[in-house]
Amino acid sequence: MPHTASTNQPVTGLILSGGGARAAYQVGVLAAIADLLPNAAHNPFPVIVGTSAGAINAVGLACGALHFTEAVHRLTSVWQGFHTRHVYRSDWPGVLRQASRFIGHSLLGLGGSVPVALLDSAPLAKLLARELDFTGISAAVRHRQLRAVAVTAFGYESGQAVTFYQGRGNIDPWFRHRRVGVPTRLALEHLLASAAIPLIFPPVKINREYFGDGAVRQSAPISPALHLGANRVLVVGVSDNPIGAEAQVPVVRPKASHPPSLAQISGHMLNSTFVDNLESDIEMLERLNQMSSLIPAERHPRGLGLKPVDVLVISPSQPLDLIAARHRREMPRALRLFLRGPGATKASGAGVLSYLLFEPGYCNELIELGYQDAMAQKARLIEFLSLDRPPVPVGVPVPA
């Protein structure tokens, strides 16, 4: 297990997993936490880690970490006003052009070497460039309101999950099997790379390598937060699968009467990419915590690396694909036609829609669900984040 900060003071890490439009749920959870904060400016998360769309939320928080509640309100405003056209081309010319380029380039081998995907994410780049002020990260680090922020992307050449992080200068890079941590000054390209779902959004070139969605090969999503110094973590997931005791309660779904559609299969593949690794990592961390509790205290120091890490998980109490199915008619007409063949516009194929449906009705329902799910754990959140005690005073500013 990675080394955590050598301090008696808890260092809380926030883990925001990937999941396209599902990340609207995270904003609702953050809004609830902002409402619970006794000090609106205080950032309760010295370490913030995100992957895929979670990386966008993570960096949005980090950019405004000097005024946490304002940063959450800004994120909420953006997600509440989302339309698909703000993330990728959804007009007829854009959809037809991208579809023809994808078929010609990827299936027929026509065209140049520029990577092509099913959807054109150029609008997302413009949105992020307009909404994010990356200089806020350095300011937050300098004023000790932020220890580090990190985003993870997948290198197509190296096959590694690369965590790009920006933070205090005393944080060492790390090298594990197919997992590395690289200090850098975060920029727009890192977010676009982390959010580039394979085949759906085009990969992004950083230095000499093309990168895509970090969830593809991120076998240990919690690990970067521990490397960056966190010794307790709040995980905001976007999984349809309940965790813990709630996992024993079956989710009632309609019985299948036809073979699975391409969209239905793709939805399960996306879930395996974005959900399974996080759930496995949480389970592994809980087992390590149990093992740590069985080892005598005198054997803990040096070498064992089994210091317990407190984990609190907040995840959707309702299946997000069923929510997406209710809002599927919000999808722009051109995309509905484009996705009708694979079956994504049917209720059985709503798993894919739950990742791609950047529309107000769907996003706002997820925000509300996240808020309610977080408030349902209000007492646990207050205790876990020590919100019933005054925050540690801000130290003297130090160079970033």
Report the distance separating Cα 79 and Cα 125, nearest Å: 15
Quick check: 220 and 281 in contact, CB under 8 A?
yes
Predicted confidence (pLDDT) at residue 7 exceeds the cutoff of 60: no
Give pLDDT tens digits for 41-85: 789 999 999 998 999 999 999 999 999 999 999 999 999 999 999
In this predicted structure, what is the pLDDT of residue 185? 97
Q: Is there a domain that residue 351 lies in?
A: yes
Bridge partners of residue 209, in order along the sequence:
206
Question: Residue type for 236, please?
Answer: V
Q: Is there a domain that residue 251 lies in?
A: no
The DSSP 8-state label assigned to residue 246 in this structure reads G
Q: Is there a domain that residue 252 lies in?
A: no
Q: Which residue has the higher pLDDT, 178 or 76?
A: 76
Report the distance separating Cα 225 and Cα 232, nearest Å: 9
Q: Is there a domain that residue 192 lies in?
A: yes
Phi, psi of 311 (to 5 degrees): -130, 130
Q: How many CB atoms lie within 10 A of CB 247?
A: 10
Could you say which of 17, 52, 266, 315 is catalytic? Answer: 52
Give pLDDT tens digits for 371-383: 999 999 999 999 9
Predicted confidence (pLDDT) at residue 35 exceeds the cutoff of 90: yes
Could you say which of 120, 121, 194, 213 is catalytic? Answer: 213
Q: How confident is the model at residue 318 (pLDDT cuts 50, 70, 90)?
A: very high
Q: How confident is the model at residue 390 (pLDDT cuts 50, 70, 90)?
A: low
Nearest to residue 195, comparing CAs of 284, 266, 124?
124
Q: Is there a domain that residue 150 lies in?
A: yes
pTM for the structure as a whole: 0.83
Quick check: 20 and 355 in contact, CB under 8 A?
yes
What angle (nearest 5°) sits at the alpha carbon of residue 53, between those of residues 52 and 55?
Answer: 70
Q: Is there a domain that residue 395 lies in?
A: no
CATH number of the domain that residue 287 is part of: 3.40.1090
- Whole-Å CA distances, 335 to 332, 353, 379: 5, 11, 43
Percent of residues, the chain, with pLDDT higher than 70: 68
Give pLDDT tens digits for 325-354: 898 888 887 776 666 555 444 555 567 888
Q: What is the mean pLDDT of residues 186-194?
A: 95
Instruction: For residue 100, indicate whether it is catalytic.
Output: no
Percent of residues, the chain, with pLDDT higher than 90: 46
Instruction: For residue 52, indicate whether it is catalytic.
Output: yes
Output the CA torsion sign for 322, 323, 328, 329: positive
Report the distance separating Cα 216 and Cα 218, nearest Å: 6
Predicted confidence (pLDDT) at residue 253 exceeds the cutoff of 70: no
Report the distance separating Cα 215 and Cα 228, nearest Å: 19
Which letter, b or e, does each residue of 319-333 get, where b requires 16 or more Cβ atoms within 10 Å of its Cβ? Answer: bbbbbbbebbebbbe
123-132, 199-208, 214-223, 391-400, range with the lowest pLDDT: 391-400
User: Which residue has tokens 């959809």?
Assistant: 95
Q: Which two tokens stand for residue 296?
A: 């005598």
Quick check: 331 and 357 in contact, CB under 8 A?
yes
The count of structural domains within the chain is: 1
Q: Which residue has the higher pLDDT, 331 or 368?
A: 368
Q: Which long-range contacts (CB under 8 A, 24 or more apart) does 160-166 make?
A: 160/217, 161/214, 161/216, 161/217, 161/218, 161/219, 162/211, 162/214, 163/49, 163/214, 163/224, 163/227, 164/190, 165/224, 165/228, 166/62, 166/137, 166/138, 166/141
- The residue range of the domain holding 47 is 12-106+113-245+267-295+310-385
Predicted confidence (pLDDT) at residue 239 exceeds the cutoff of 60: yes
Q: Is there a domain that residue 200 lies in?
A: yes
Q: How confident is the model at residue 184 (pLDDT cuts 50, 70, 90)?
A: very high
- CB within 8 Å of 125: residues ≥ 6 apart: 188, 192
In this predicted structure, what is the pLDDT of residue 396? 43
Predicted confidence (pLDDT) at residue 30 exceeds the cutoff of 70: yes
Q: Is there a domain that residue 352 lies in?
A: yes
Give pLDDT tens digits for 127-154: 999 999 999 999 999 999 999 999 999 9
Nearest to residue 50, comparing CAs of 218, 198, 211, 170?
218
User: Which residue has tokens 């980090």?
Assistant: 62
In this predicted structure, what is the pLDDT of residue 398? 45
In this predicted structure, what is the pLDDT of residue 118? 77
